[in-house]
Amino acid sequence: MLSLLYRGTLASCNYACGYCPFAKKQDSRAALARDAREVVRFTNWVARQTRPIGVLFTPWGEALVRRHYRCAMQALAALPHVRQVALQTNLAGPLKWLDGMAGLEKIGLWCTFHPGQTTIARFLERCAHLDAMGVRYSVGVVALHEHYGAIEALRAALPGHVYLWLNAYDRRGPGYYAADDLLWLDKIDPWFAQSRRPVPSRGKGCFAGEAALSVDGDGELTRCHFLPERLGNLYEDDLADMLQERSCPRFKCDCYIGYAQRKDLPFQTEFGEGVLARIASV
């Protein structure tokens, strides 16, 4: 399967999280119109393919509040050669469009809870709605000290099969987490150690550039979001000429989007068909 990690022009978000540089950013009407055209072009390209494809939308902003992303996910999930359609979201957008849609089993939502932007009760209500519709999803939180109560409450309330992932917050130095904190956080998320203390990446084999590509709104391709080297253009070049095994040149990769593609780490096997949406197979 070829995995395509798509990030277009969209940069606006309806939330104002202090740890995010895109909080409460607004796109102009022109930017939103451009983003919609880009998404339609990308969706049409995928529709013309025959190889198995998985798609992960990784917008800088919040996409599910935009109709064109919801329509794109519906169209992609209905295609027989598309195996996965995943998207990162704060879960604030509409959910009714998912109810009974064709290819629902292919949809995966990577949902982040942001304390201070919505209530736990509201967020859990929306998770319950996903459960009732049969939508697969994961839930996560940035593991700030002030979020510990939310983490505990989410784990207690979410169904046991829902993976609760934690993103490390290390901007305050390596001693931010006490030993007792780590024991508890590692119990909540068995993969938390990879987020807070990434295994060195340089020279390691990676599916990025071989079986996964990052694409922007213009179709420009790189092997992953974190390596700017241009490989070609999705709409102009033959992918066979650029897809090849490559090792990682970065010292470390501390974002799941990147390290999930590492060949020496277990995420492709352990997460299986849920790997793009960070949905663990447990």
CATH label of the domain that carries residue 167: 3.20.20
Q: Determine, yes or no, domain membership for 96.
A: yes
Q: Determine, yes or no, domain membership for 53.
A: yes
pLDDT of residue 20: 67
pLDDT of residue 19: 67
Q: Determine, yes or no, domain membership for 132.
A: yes
Q: Determine, yes or no, domain membership for 36.
A: yes
Task: Tell me the whole-structure pTM to 2 decimals.
Answer: 0.93
Q: How confident is the model at residue 125 (pLDDT cuts 50, 70, 90)?
A: very high
- 3-state DSSP assignment of residue 5: strand
Q: Determine, yes or no, domain membership for 23.
A: yes
Pairing of strands 212-216, 220-224: antiparallel
Percent of the chain topping pLDDT 90: 80
Q: Determine, yes or no, domain membership for 39.
A: yes
Query: What average pLDDT score do residues 88-102 get?
Result: 94
Residue 69 tokens, joined = 């992303």
Q: Which of 263, 264, 260 is nearest to 275 (CA)?
A: 260
Pairing of strands 164-167, 136-142: parallel
Q: How confident is the model at residue 86 (pLDDT cuts 50, 70, 90)?
A: very high
For 2-48, write each residue's pLDDT tens digit.
Answer: 999 999 999 888 777 776 655 557 889 999 999 999 999 999 999 99
Q: Is residue 254 scored above 80 in pLDDT? A: yes
Percent of the chain topping pLDDT 70: 96
pLDDT of residue 184: 96
Q: How far apart are the first and last CA of the chain?
A: 22
Q: How confident is the model at residue 117 (pLDDT cuts 50, 70, 90)?
A: confident
d(Cα 259, Cα 266) in Å, to the nearest integer?
10
Task: Please count the CA atoms within 13 angstroms of the CA of 258 that sit on its side-chain side.
Answer: 23
* Phi, psi at 239, each rounded to 5°: -65, -30
Q: Which of 34, 88, 130 is nearest to 257 (CA)?
A: 88
For 163-200, write each residue's pLDDT tens digit.
Answer: 999 999 865 567 889 999 999 999 999 999 998 888 89
For 256-265, write each residue's pLDDT tens digit.
Answer: 999 999 999 9
pLDDT of residue 282: 56
Instruction: Please name every residue paired with 141 in a beta bridge, in sequence order, or none if there are none.
Output: 166
Average pLDDT, rounded, for the chain: 92
Torsion of CA 135, 226, 17, 6, to 10 degrees: -40
Boundaries of domain holding 261: 2-277
Q: Determine, yes or no, domain membership for 282.
A: no
Q: Considering only 11-20, 97-106, 135-144, which range has the smallest mean pLDDT?
A: 11-20
Residue 243 tokens, joined = 């897809």
Q: How many domains does the chain have?
A: 1
